[in-house]
Amino acid sequence: MVKSEQKNPQVIFLVERGWRGARELAIKLARQHLTCWLIIKGKVPSDVLEIITPRAGISVRSLSRWYFKPMVALLVIWHRLFGCLKCVIVNKDRTLFWMSAIVRMVGCHTVLLNEVGESIELSNYQHQTIRPEDLASFLSRENSSVL
């Protein structure tokens, strides 16, 4: 039996609208040897998941809308306490609000991803702008307090 190389995530992306920006940022972070999980809200056909996924260090899952919030909350807490989760990246303001409360309790960071045209804008829960390069270098280091 072949053992899969599925690692615990270091970055979890909560994707509720449009996955292009999240996938681009996940590719940048995967190049920095960070393991990324993209969790898409709503049922996504398997052929679409195959289009999004084919990169090393990136996994894509879809969760039903009905249990998205409780399942994501449990996953984040589990992977922070028993894994190596460093950051949760969301692409919706309302999700940033409730997720940042959970993530701060377990000592992790949240980042808001906005797609503006073809570019990506990142900000922390205090709406301070973060460059993707700074995020990657911050997450690659241990015990940093840039966010």
Q: Are 42 and 69 in contact (CB under 8 A)?
A: no
**At 133, phi and psi to the nearest 5?**
-65, -40
Print pLDDT tens along the chain (147 aa). 233 344 667 899 999 988 888 888 998 888 888 899 999 999 888 887 777 766 788 888 889 999 999 999 999 999 998 888 989 999 988 888 899 888 888 888 899 998 887 788 888 777 788 888 788 777 777 544 444
Q: Is the dihedral of CA 82, 79, 121, 127 positive or negative?
A: negative
Task: Give the residue carrying structure tokens 């990142």.
Answer: 122
Using DSSP, state whether 110 is helix, strand or coil: strand
